[in-house]
Amino acid sequence: MYNHRRCGLCALGGQEGLSHLVPHMCMLDIQSAEWTSGVLHRTRTLVSGGDCCDFHLCKKGSKWDRERR
């Protein structure tokens, strides 16, 4: 499990006036994991107002994947 307290995408989106695009960039994390036979479990993100971005990446169908569903 990883927790990030600062987000480069959030900072760049705000700097460039494109904050509305950042949630879509976060969704690419989920797609990227699926494309590599993985699964990304995440409960909160900074861009959605969470206190951190948390995620756990594991192989789809693995013991860790089944435990998190």
The per-residue pLDDT for range 7-26, each reduced to its tens digit, is 888 999 999 999 999 999 88
Q: Which string of DSSP letters, residue by residue, matches 6-50?
A: --HHHHHHHHTT-GGGHHHHHHHHHHHHHHTTEEEE-S--TTTT-
- Percent of residues, the chain, with pLDDT higher than 70: 99
pLDDT at 68: 82
In three-state secondary structure terms, 1 is: coil
Cα–Cα distance between 51 and 48 in angstroms, integer? Answer: 9
The per-residue pLDDT string of the chain (69 residues; one tens digit each, 9 = 90 and over) reads 678 898 888 999 999 999 999 999 888 989 999 999 999 999 899 988 999 999 889 999 999 889 887
Cα–Cα distance between 19 and 9 in angstroms, integer? Answer: 9
- pTM listed for this prediction: 0.71
